[in-house]
Structure 1
Amino acid sequence: MSNLDSDKVKELKCLVRAILEFNKTTHGMGRALRNLTKEIGLYENHIKGARDLSKKKNLDTTKIQIGGGSHTLRDYLNIDIVPPADIIYDLREGIPLKDESSEFIFTEHFLEHIDYPTSTKKFAKECFRVLKKGGRVVVGVPDGEQVIKAYVKKDKRFFDEMLKRWYSKRDCLEHFNTYIDLVNYHFRDQDDDKKYNPHFWSYDFEKLVSLFKDAGFSEVKKWKFDSSIANSKRWWGSIYIIATK
């Protein structure tokens, strides 16, 4: 990234900040600019991370963790857009590794946070590209089918459990008063929020099979939850698949 580009990004940040501080900025404009502020921060992380990556040598790329946030896995190369990952990189732009350089990729509760179809289809194809023949990727996401079935059945026990496990410590509880609110939070999560990032798409087993088969994987099946790898807080309400190249 050149100094000129850096200066222009700084100018954009200052302009956005000034508009947000203007007391007559509309609600809609404010939402859009707050999202832009987040994207500018991610862009800056990505540019710096790409620079740092060019200086790193002899990285062990055998096992990769994608989008783990603070839940980093030991003996894995962690790639995410925010610290404390080993490689800071915007995975919507691809996986910054060589072809057929990895044996295993693990990711959970990442896929729903990137846009469909552009970024998710690209991500599936990138997993295929960087894996060696016979390599595998495990992907975990919130289970859309489970939530929809519970809504149709008006399964109060399921939604009480969902509320307790996923949202009990959040500041949005005042907005939950019907089942459809929980369905919407599953599909969208908290938008326009400093701490949480929204969901862009929901998945079930059929959709995950389609996504990774289309990317070239020979086999896609359900993965049995393994707490030695996966975050134990994620097992409830999630679905995991394992795809083999």
Structure 2
Amino acid sequence: MRKTAVVTGASSGIGAATARRLAAEGFSVVLAARRRDRLDALAKEIAETVPGAGAGQGGRVVPIELDVTSQESVDALAAAIGGCHVLVNNAGGALGLDSVATADVDDWRDMYESNVLGLVRVTKALLPKLIESGDGHVVNITSLAAHVPYEGGGGYNAAKHAAYAVNEVMRLELVAEPVRVTEVAPGMVRTEEFSLVRFRGDETKAAKPYEGVPEPLVADDVADCVAWAVTRPSHVNIDRIDVQPRVQAAPYKLHREP
């Protein structure tokens, strides 16, 4: 039986790369995100490049519109799919780089809503299917920000630290169930949207974190970690993968070339 993977935040970046990679690994993939037009384009791309994938309800790649901040949307996702073996909680992101003293509380609330409560909503909704599969796996994409604080990262640090805590609690609570739980915590990853969203479309500010960094990670590097974790034998749980470029030692410590 072919296994099914659900990937949230699949319309771009790490989510899209993970969907491509899992389809190539032989999974049926549910592409879940808010932007249906991008999901349709990705489904078409995967169907054309992965042998036998096919798009739509009759194929191995199914796009479903999802807003993880809406319980109604999450419930609709759960109702629309059959079985689920792998859930990749990737939806989320950062907003701003303000100090705690100048924090925009609305930004903090939005980050918590997507990075933490969104993760909980989707996991809760799909957990019965994951258990029923007999070989379920939840992969939570967090960040090194979940483990190492840095100046200006207060809101994002807080949200990702919470996501890490949820991940650890799930490992304890599901230890008797046929469900593995893995955290993938990337360092600097250059994608087309993460930094641009963080700085609300300001391209100059969005490019600045990557200035002089010779080789930041790309989305495919993180997708590779996810694929490796979910393709281990079912008795093997990869608890956590910290992955960062060679030139990064911490979120605040990078080698930059002139």
Range of TM-score over shorter length: under 0.3
**Rg comparison, structure with higher value:** 1
